[in-house]
C-alpha cells in the first residue's frame, strides 16, 4: 500500500517550523528568560530549577566569567571582580560614572574612549560586555532547555531608557549573539502578560517596585496599540531600602552598636531581607543571630510592626504616582487597571497602599518577578511569526524632547517629550548668511530653551548647499525615532537635493534621575527661559539686520549714498551693535526699528538700481507677454 502524505487544508505540506523566540527581562537585580509553549508563556529554569538569575557577573583570571547565584555569593569576598547592578551603568559615559567612583566598589580604568571600563583580573570590561555575559547565560539556558537554536529575542528596557541606554542594550545583545526582534518597555510587557492588549480600550497603571528601583508608567490601549502616556519613578528606591530599615531596627532592639564590622552588617542585611520576605506570607517570624563575641541574640517581628517600620519608605512611591498621573493629564479614577510588577510588590502593605491610592484592587495573579519576561515572550512569539494573523504594534514614548540648535544658542524642539514612537517629524530651516554653502547641525535632548541647559547628542554637517542669499535656502530637517527608540536625523536642501544624515548613537546617556532633574529645571526656569529666549531672539534679529546692512553697504554704499547719508546709517548700525550686547530685549527691538527707518531710502534706491540693472541691454517690449 502506498502511503500518501496528506496535508490539512490551510496548512503547508512541510511540517510547520516553529521559530524559537524568547523574551528576556534584563533586570537590575534579577534577569529572566521566558518563552511561549503551547500558547502559554512560561519562564525557563536553569539546571538547578532556579528561574531568577541574579544579574551579577564575576570575572576570574584564567577562567570564563561566572554569572548568577555563584557570582552573587562572591560579591562580598571578591568585590573588585564581581559586578552587580550593571544596568545602572548602561549607556553612561565616563563623565557620568565619575561621580559614582566613591559609591561603587569597582575601579574604573582611565580611558580615552567614552565608555567607562571596569578593571578586573580578567582585564577591563565595559557595562555593555558585562550585560552581554548575562544575556549569553540566558541564551544558553534557553537553547539547552528548548533543544534548539535561538532565533531571536525581545529584550525589555525601562520605559524611560534614553537613546544611549537602548543602544547599549542592543549592543550587549549583539555581542551575546542574540538577534534582537525588538526592545520593549517593561510596563508594556507586563500589560501584555495580563492580556490587557486583548481589551478593546483602556488606561492602565503599571507599578513596579524592584530591588533598587521604583517605576510607575501609565499606558493607554487604543485600537490594539499600547501607548506609554507618561513614566516616572525613583531610581534609588526599592526593596534594598526596606532591608536597611529592618536591619537598623534589629540593631536598636538588640543593642548592637552601629556595626563597624562589615561581615556583621552583611549578615544583618541578609537576615533583614529574609524577615521581610517571610512576613509577606507569614504573620510573624523569629530568628537568632550569632554574636561575634559568642552567644546569640533572639528576636521576633510581626507583620504589623514591620508595616509601621516600612510604611514611610513605601509611602515615598506615591509622590511619583501622583506626578506621573498629572503628567498624563489623568486622575487616579481614570485608571481602569493597575498591574503589580517587581518582587517588592509581594508585600501586603504595598498592595494595600497601591489599592488605596488607585481606589481598586491591583492585578496580581501573575508572579510579579516573572510578569515582564512573560509579556516579552508573548511579544517575541508574535514577532517571530509563530502566531499567524496576529500583529501587535507597540508604542512607547520618548522621555525627553529632541531638537536642534538654532541661532542664538537656542533649541528648537522637533519631537516633544512623551511623543509616542515610532515617529517622524520634519521642520524647515534656512540659511543665515548670504552665500552660505554649509550648515552645521547640533542635535539635542532636553526640555530647556537654551543649548547649554540641554544634552548634546550629535553634531553633523550639511555641505554642498548652492550659494543663495540669506533666507532663500530651504533645508528640511527630519527626525525619525524607530520602534526601539533610536533616533536618526536627516537634513536636506530642497532646491539642490543635497542631504546628510546621522544615526544618533551617543556614547553616553541620561539617568532617569537626570531626566527628572532636567524636567524639574525646565519647570522651575520656565519664566527665565522665556526671558532668555526673548533676548536671544532679539539678538538674532539684530545680527540679521546688521549682517544684511553691512553686505548692502559694501555692495552699493559708494554708488547710492551721499557721504553724510552713509555716516548716518553707520551710526545707527553702531548703536544697534552696542545694544545687541546688552541685556535689554526691548531696547534692541527699538534700535532695529530705528535702523529700518533710517535705511528705507537706501533700500528703495537699491531696488531701483536692481531693476535698472535687470533691464539694462533689453528693450522694454521684450518684457511684454
Ligand atoms: P529588579 O527588577 O530590580 O531586578 P526584582 O523585581 O527581582 O528586582 O525584586 C527584587 C526585590 O524584591 C528584592 O528587594 C527582594 O527582597 C524583594 N522580594 C522578593 N520576594 C519578596 C517577598 N516575598 N516579600 C518582599 N519582598 C520580596
Ligand atoms: Mg524589574
- Taking only the tens place, the pLDDT of each residue in 94-133 is 777 766 655 567 788 877 667 788 999 999 899 999 999 9
Nearest CA, atom 25, ligand 1: 277
Number of H-type helices and E-type strands within the chain: 16, 27
How confident is the model over 183-215, as pLDDT tens digits?
A: 998 999 999 999 998 888 899 999 999 998 899
Cis peptide before 187, with omega less than 30 degrees from 0? no
CB of 417 sitting under 6 A from ligand 1? no
Q: Which of 136-145, 177-186, 381-390 is least confident?
A: 381-390
Q: Check if 54 has its Cβ closer than 6 Å to any atom of ligand 1.
A: no
pLDDT of residue 1: 34
Is residue 171 domain-resident? yes
Check which CATH number belongs to the domain holding 592 and give it. 1.20.1270.10
Judge if 514 and 606 occupy the same domain: no
Same domain, 341 and 307: no
pLDDT score recorded for residue 507: 37
Q: Within a domain: residue 195?
A: yes
The whole-number average pLDDT for the span 451-475 is 85
Last-in-domain residue among 353, 373, 397:
397
- pLDDT tier at 472, thresholds 50, 70, 90: confident
pLDDT band (50, 70, 90) for residue 281: very high
Strand residues in 27-93 grouped as ranges (E): 30-37, 40-43, 53-54, 56-58, 66-67, 82-84
Higher pLDDT, 537 or 40: 40
Same domain as 430, residue 333: no
Question: Model confidence at 623, in pLDDT bands (50, 70, 90)?
Answer: very low
Beta bridge partners of 415: 402
Q: Give Cβ neighbours of residue 624 (< 8 Å, ≥ 6 apart).
A: none
Share of the chain above pLDDT 70, in %: 85
Confidence of residue 10 (pLDDT cuts 50, 70, 90): very low
Q: How many angstroms separate the CA atoms of 118 and 110, rounded? A: 9
The Cα–Cα gap between 591 and 110 comes to 53
| Residue in 25, 162, 369, 447 annotated catalytic | 25
pLDDT at position 486: 77
Burial of 216 (0-12, 13-18, 19+ CB in 10 A): buried
Most distant pair of Cα atoms in the chain: their distance:
117
- Min mean pLDDT across 219-223, 438-442, 510-514, 605-609 is at 510-514
Closest CA to 394 of 148, 274, 228, 546: 228
Q: Best of 26, 239, 245, 277 to mutate for ligand 1, by most ligand atoms within 8 A of CB?
A: 239
Q: Does 1 fall in a domain?
A: no
pLDDT of residue 615: 52
Q: What is the mean pLDDT of residues 139-150?
A: 92
C-alpha pair distances (Å), 48 with each of 44, 99, 100, 146, 350: 11, 39, 35, 16, 31
Same domain, 275 and 378: no
pLDDT above 60: residue 395 = no
Told to judge if 25 belongs to the known catalytic residues of this protein, a careful annotator would answer yes
Per-residue pLDDT band at 15 (split at 50, 70, 90): very low
Residues 295 and 328 in one domain: no
State the number of CA atoms in the 13 A half-sphere of 233 facing the CB. 28
Distance from the alpha carbon of residue 26 to the mean position of ligand 2, in angstroms: 8
CB atoms under 10 Å from CB of 511, counted, come to: 18
- Tell me whether residue 611 is in a domain: yes
Residue 394 has pLDDT above 60, yes or no: no
Sign of CA dihedral 436, 439, 440, 442: positive
Coil, helix or strand for 280? coil
Is pLDDT at 587 greater than 80 in this prediction? yes
What is the reported pLDDT for 514?
Answer: 60
* Secondary structure (3-state) at 237: coil
My answer on whether 390 and 480 are in the same domain is no
pTM: 0.66
Question: Which stretches of 235-370 are DSSP H helices?
Answer: 239-253, 262-278, 303-315, 318-327, 348-358
| Cell numbers placing 43 | 519562564
Average pLDDT over residues 363-378: 95
- DSSP secondary structure of 166-184: HHHHHHHHHHTT--EEEEE
Question: What pLDDT score does 49 carry?
Answer: 95
Residue where a domain stops, chosen among 350, 370, 397:
397
Is residue 106 domain-shared with residue 170, that is, in the same domain? Answer: yes
Burial class (CB in 10 A: 0-12, 13-18, 19+), 58: buried
Q: Is 559 a catalytic residue?
A: no
277 lines ligand 1 (CB under 6 A): yes
Within a 10 A sphere around the Cβ of 444, how many other Cβ atoms?
A: 23
Domain holding 294: CATH number?
Answer: 3.90.640.10
Tell me what pLDDT residue 619 has.
Answer: 47
φ/ψ of 445, rounded to 5, equals -130, 130
Is 162 inside a domain boundary?
yes
Residues 541 and 514 grouped into a single domain = no
Q: Are residues 216 and 343 in the same domain?
A: yes
Q: Confirm if 67 and 56 have CB atoms less than 8 A apart.
A: yes
Percent of the chain scoring above 90 in pLDDT: 37
The residue whose C-alpha atom lies closest to atom 19 belonging to ligand 1 is 343
Q: How far, in Å, from the CA of 271 to the mean position of ligand 1?
A: 14
Residue nearest to ligand 1 atom 11, measured at CA: 211
CA of 502 to the centre of ligand 1 (A): 41
Catalytic residue among 46, 87, 241, 541: 87
Q: Which of 400-414, 514-528, 534-548 has the lowest mean pLDDT?
A: 514-528
Confidence grade of residue 376 (pLDDT, cut at 50, 70, 90)? very high
**385 — pLDDT class (breaks 50, 70, 90):** confident
User: pLDDT at residue 464 above 50?
Assistant: yes
Q: Is residue 5 part of a domain?
A: no
Q: What is the mean pLDDT of residues 286-307?
A: 87
The answer to whether residue 243 is catalytic is no
- The region of weakest confidence among 99-103, 370-374, 559-563 is 99-103
The answer to which of 381-395, 509-523, 602-616 has the lowest mean pLDDT is: 509-523
178: domain CATH number? 3.30.420.40
pLDDT bin (cut points 50, 70, 90) of residue 66 is very high
Statement to judge: residues 325 and 444 lie in one domain: no
Task: Find the mean pLDDT for residues 564-590.
Answer: 89
Q: How many residues in total does the chain contain?
A: 625
Single out the residue in 488, 522, 556 at which a domain terminates. Answer: 522
Minimal-distance CA residue to ligand 1 atom 22? 277
604 and 582 housed in the same domain: yes
**Exposure of 41 in the CB half-sphere (CA atoms within 13 A):** 28
Query: Which structural domain, as residue segments, surrounds residue 303?
Result: 239-312
The answer to whether the beta carbons of residues 359 and 332 sit under 8 Å apart is yes
Q: Indicate if 443 and 571 belong to the same structural domain.
A: no
Query: Number of folded domains in the chain?
Result: 4
Position 11 in a domain: no
Mean pLDDT rounded to a whole number for the chain: 84
Higher pLDDT, 235 or 99: 235
Residue 321 confidence (pLDDT): 96
pLDDT at 617 over 50: no
| Ligand 2 centroid – CA 123 distance (Å) | 29
CATH number for position 436: 2.60.34.10
What pLDDT is recorded for position 406?
86
Q: Domain for residue 604, yes or no?
A: yes
The predicted structure's pLDDT at residue 283: 96
* Per-chain residues with Cβ under 5 A from ion ligand 2: 27, 210
Among residues 46, 129, 208, 449, the one annotated as catalytic is 208
Give the confidence band of 527 by pLDDT, cuts at 50, 70, 90.
Answer: low
Amino acid at each position: 500500500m502506498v502511503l500518501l502524505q496528506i496535508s490539512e487544508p490551510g496548512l503547508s505540506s512541510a511540517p510547520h517550523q516553529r521559530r524559537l523566540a524568547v523574551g528576556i527581562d534584563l533586570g537590575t537585580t534579577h534577569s529572566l528568560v521566558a518563552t511561549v509553549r503551547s500558547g502559554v508563556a512560561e519562564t525557563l529554569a536553569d539546571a538547578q530549577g532556579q528561574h531568577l538569575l541574579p544579574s551579577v557577573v564575576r570575572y576570574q583570571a584564567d577562567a570564563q566569567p561566572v554569572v548568577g547565584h555563584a557570582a552573587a555569593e562572591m560579591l562580598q569576598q571578591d568585590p573588585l571582580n564581581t559586578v552587580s547592578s550593571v544596568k545602572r551603568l548602561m549607556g553612561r559615559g565616563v563623565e557620568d560614572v565619575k561621580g559614582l567612583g566613591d559609591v561603587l566598589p569597582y575601579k574604573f580604568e582611565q580611558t580615552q574612549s567614552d565608555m567607562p571600563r571596569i578593571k578586573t583580573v580578567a582585564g577591563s570590561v565595559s557595562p555593555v560586555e558585562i550585560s552581554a555575559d548575562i544575556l549569553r547565560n540566558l541564551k544558553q539556558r534557553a537553547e539547552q532547555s528548548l533543544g534548539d537554536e535561538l532565533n531571536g529575542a525581545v529584550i525589555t528596557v525601562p520605559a524611560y531608557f534614553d537613546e544611549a541606554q537602548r543602544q547599549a542594550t542592543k549592543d550587549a545583545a549583539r555581542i551575546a549573539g542574540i538577534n534582537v526582534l525588538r526592545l520593549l518597555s517593561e510596563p508594556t510587557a507586563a500589560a501584555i502578560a495580563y492580556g490587557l492588549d486583548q481589551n478593546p480600550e483602556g488606561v492602565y497603571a503599571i507599578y513596579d517596585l524592584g530591588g533598587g528601583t521604583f517605576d510607575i508608567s501609565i499606558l493607554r490601549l487604543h485600537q490594539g496599540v499600547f501607548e506609554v502616556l507618561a513614566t516616572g519613578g525613583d531610581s534609588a528606591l526599592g526593596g534594598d531600602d526596606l532591608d536597611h530599615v529592618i536591619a537598623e531596627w534589629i540593631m536598636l532592639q538588640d543593642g548592637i552598636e552601629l556595626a563597624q564590622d562589615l561581615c556583621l552588617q552583611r549578615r544583618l542585611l541578609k537576615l533583614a531581607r529574609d524577615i521581610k520576605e517571610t512576613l509577606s506570607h507569614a504573620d510573624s517570624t523569629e530568628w537568632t543571630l550569632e554574636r561575634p563575641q559568642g552567644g546569640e541574640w533572639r528576636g521576633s517581628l510581626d507583620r504589623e510592626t514591620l508595616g509601621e517600620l516600612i510604611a514611610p519608605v513605601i509611602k515615598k512611591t506615591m509622590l511619583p504616582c501622583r506626578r506621573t498621573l498629572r503628567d498624563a493629564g489623568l486622575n487616579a479614577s481614570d485608571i481602569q487597571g493597575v498591574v503589580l510588577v517587581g518582587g517588592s510588590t509581594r508585600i501586603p502593605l504595598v498592595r494595600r497602599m497601591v489599592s488605596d491610592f488607585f481606589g481598586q484592587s491591583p492585578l496580581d495573579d501573575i508572579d510579579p518577578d516573572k510578569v515582564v519576561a512573560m509579556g516579552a515572550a508573548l511579544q517575541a512569539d508574535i514577532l517571530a511569526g509563530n502566531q499567524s494573523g496576529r500583529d501587535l504594534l507597540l508604542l512607547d514614548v520618548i522621555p525627553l524632547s529632541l531638537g536642534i540648535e538654532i541661532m542664538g544658542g537656542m533649541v528648537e524642539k522637533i519631537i516633544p517629550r512623551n511623543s509616542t514612537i515610532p515617529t517622524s517629524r520634519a521642520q524647515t530651516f534656512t540659511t543665515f548668511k548670504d552665500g552660505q554653502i554649509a550648515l552645521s547641525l547640533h542635535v539635542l535632548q532636553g526640555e530647556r530653551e537654551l543649548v547649554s541647559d540641554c544634552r548634546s547628542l550629535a553634531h553633523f554637517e550639511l555641505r554642498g548647499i548652492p550659494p543663495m542669499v540669506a533666507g532663500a535656502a530651504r533645508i528640511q530637517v527630519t527626525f525619525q525615532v524607530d520602534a526601539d527608540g533610536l533616533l536618526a536625523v536627516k537634513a536636506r536642501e530642497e532646491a539642490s537635493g543635497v542631504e546628510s544624515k546621522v544615526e544618533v548613537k551617543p556614547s553616553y546617556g541620561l539617568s532617569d534621575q537626570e531626566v527628572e532633574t532636567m524636567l524639574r529645571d525646565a519647570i522651575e526656569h520656565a519664566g527665565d527661559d522665556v526671558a532668555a529666549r526673548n533676548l536671544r531672539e532679539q539678538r538674532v534679529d539684530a545680527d540679521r539686520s546688521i549682517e544684511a546692512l553691512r553686505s548692502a553697504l559694501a555692495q552699493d554704499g559708494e554708488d547710492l549714498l551721499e557721504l553724510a547719508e552713509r555716516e548716518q546709517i553707520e551710526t545707527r548700525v553702531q548703536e544697534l551693535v552696542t545694544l545687541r550686547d546688552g541685556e535689554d530685549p526691548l531696547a534692541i527691538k527699538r534700535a532695529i526699528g530705528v535702523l529700518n527707518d533710517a535705511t528705507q531710502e537706501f533700500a528703495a534706491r537699491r531696488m531701483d538700481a536692481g531693476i535698472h540693472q535687470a533691464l539694462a541691454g533689453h528693450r522694454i517690449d521684450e518684457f511684454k507677454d
